[in-house]
């Protein structure tokens, strides 16, 4: 079991008990609707067919991650100060807007703008969603890891089904997956606005918003300064998830270059999401094994080896390696989320959880275009070995930190 396994920070008032079950159902519906990404495994292929190079696609992905760099922390503060449901609604609306622009792909600047808006949609949703769920669970917060793991598993299954369906439909017309993604984004707006949440208890009647934002940011910064362990793991999460994201996205082009159809690529990557769903569902059980540092480092090792072997030219071996890495990734995500939520006070929870996404985007904005250049110059094998080595190095770092600091052991 991870140490510090109890929530040491005072909670905000719970959502009223009669409303809790209803609002949780709506929240689950929101999460599933916004995971309906029918283009997640074919957008690189789509842009390549529109004439964009891997380097240009890498620049577009950098534009995606520029949005969280600029907006991740402010959007987390917005969720804490104004309301999580408003932040979630904005995030869903930006899904629809970004895909409407990407659909045209008229020029590289238009593609980059679309990707920037898509990145902004993640900024408004990340942090706010975990913070909302953790508080909405009320007296069931002790079961957060298991509940979040089950929800994450359902999200992966929905993502897998929609990804494969989008890939299948794209063999007929790309218009179909684009239209479906936009429609579910708009459905997410409606579901978010119907959520109930606790009042923002830390507001004062006479304080200006500027004062509140300044005070809120200072409190969050002081908490990170006083808890170096949390700060270090938030930073660790950036390259950890970036390595997996780079492998997942460029694997679309790698398999396409090997002659696989869009439907076949979608089936393999959707299978990875299904195994991520299985891993997330198992997270509650894994949480009871050994200590937190060993859990994360062991899973990071499996992911690193899996990603490295994904570069093997034999498609069957690359596929199995990718699926194993996906299973391990599904397990580790709820474990990290649960650990972070237990360490953070409610008043700054969404803001500080946004730091994890911010470090991910800082890493991606540099690493993704470099990865594209590496693949073009040295081949797919070199790229996948590189991302695998990143995770292996991070696994060693977590073990060292766990031995030096009992708070992550």
CA nearest 252: which of 240, 263, 242?
263
Question: Among residues of the chain, what percentage have pLDDT more than 70?
Answer: 80
Q: How far is CA 107 from CA 52, 110, 119, 253, 361, in A?
A: 9, 5, 18, 20, 23
Chain-centre distance for alpha carbon 115: 15
**Tens-digit pLDDT profile for residues 362-400:** 888 788 888 888 988 899 999 999 999 988 887 777 766
Report CA 253 to chain centroid distance, whole Å.
21
Give the pLDDT score at 7. 42
Least confident of 107-116, 257-266, 308-317: 257-266
Check residue 4 and give its pLDDT: 33
The residues spanned by each domain of the chain are 17-196+208-408
- Alpha carbons 229 and 405: distance in angstroms, whole number: 8
Q: Using CA atoms, how far apart are residues 92 and 78, in angstroms rounded to an integer?
A: 15
Mean pLDDT over 136-142 rounds to 72
Place of tokens 């017309």: 173
- CA nearest neighbour of 159 among 309, 285, 35, 291: 35
Residue 82 pLDDT: 82
Cβ count within 10 A of residue 250: 25
Nearest to 370 by CA among 354, 356, 390: 390
Q: What is the pLDDT of residues 181-221, one digit of tens each?
A: 999 999 999 999 988 876 655 444 445 545 555 555 565 56
- Please, what is the average pLDDT of the chain? 80
> For 40, which DSSP code?
T
Contacts of 206 (CB under 8 A, 6+ apart): none
Domain 17-196+208-408 part of CATH 1.20.1250.20 = yes
**C-alpha to C-alpha distance for 124 and 226, rounded to whole angstroms:** 26
- Residue-wise pLDDT for 267-315, tens only, equals 888 888 889 888 888 877 776 676 777 787 888 899 999 999 998 888 8
């Amino acid at each position: 079991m991870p140490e510090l396994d109890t929530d040491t920070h005072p909670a905000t008032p719970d959502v009223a008990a009669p409303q809790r079950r209803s609002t949780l159902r709506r929240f689950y519906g929101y999460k599933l609707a916004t995971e309906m990404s029918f283009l997640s495994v074919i957008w690189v292929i789509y842009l390549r067919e529109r004439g964009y190079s891997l380097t240009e696609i890498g620049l577009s992905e950098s534009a995606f991650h520029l949005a969280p760099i600029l907006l991740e922390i402010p959007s987390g503060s917005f969720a804490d100060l104004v309301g999580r449901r408003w932040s979630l609604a904005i995030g869903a609306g930006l899904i629809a807007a970004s895909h409407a622009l990407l659909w045209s792909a008229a020029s590289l600047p238009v593609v980059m703008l679309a990707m920037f808006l898509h990145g902004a949609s993640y900024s408004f949703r990340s942090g706010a969603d975990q913070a909302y769920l953790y508080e909405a669970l009320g007296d069931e917060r002790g079961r957060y890891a298991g509940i979040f793991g089950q929800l994450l598993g359902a999200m992966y299954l929905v993502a897998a089904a929609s990804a494969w369906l989008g890939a299948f439909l794209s063999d007929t017309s790309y218009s179909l997956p684009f239209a479906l993604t936009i429609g579910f984004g708009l459905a997410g707006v409606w579901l978010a606005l119907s959520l109930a949440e606790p009042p923002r208890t830390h507001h004062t009647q006479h304080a200006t918003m500027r004062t509140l934002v300044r005070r809120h940011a200072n409190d969050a910064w002081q908490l990170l300064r006083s808890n170096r362990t949390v700060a270090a793991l938030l930073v660790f999460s950036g390259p950890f998830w970036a390595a997996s994201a780079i492998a997942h996205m460029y694997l679309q082009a790698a398999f396409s270059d090997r002659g696989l159809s869009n439907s076949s690529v979608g089936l393999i990557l959707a299978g990875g999401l299904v195994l991520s769903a299985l891993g997330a569902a198992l997270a509650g059980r894994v949480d009871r094994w050994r200590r937190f540092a060993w859990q994360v480092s062991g899973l990071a090792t499996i992911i690193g080896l899996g990603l490295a072997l994904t570069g093997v030219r034999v498609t069957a071996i690359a596929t199995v390696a990718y699926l194993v890495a996906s299973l391990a990734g599904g397990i580790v995500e709820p474990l990290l989320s649960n650990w972070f939520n237990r360490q953070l006070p409610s008043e700054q929870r969404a803001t500080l959880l946004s730091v994890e996404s911010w470090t991910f985007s800082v890493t991606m904005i540099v690493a993704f275009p470099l990865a594209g250049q590496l693949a073009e110059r040295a081949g797919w094998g070199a790229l996948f070995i590189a991302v695998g080595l990143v995770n292996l190095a991070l696994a060693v770092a977590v073990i060292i930190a766990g031995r030096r600091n009992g708070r992550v052991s």
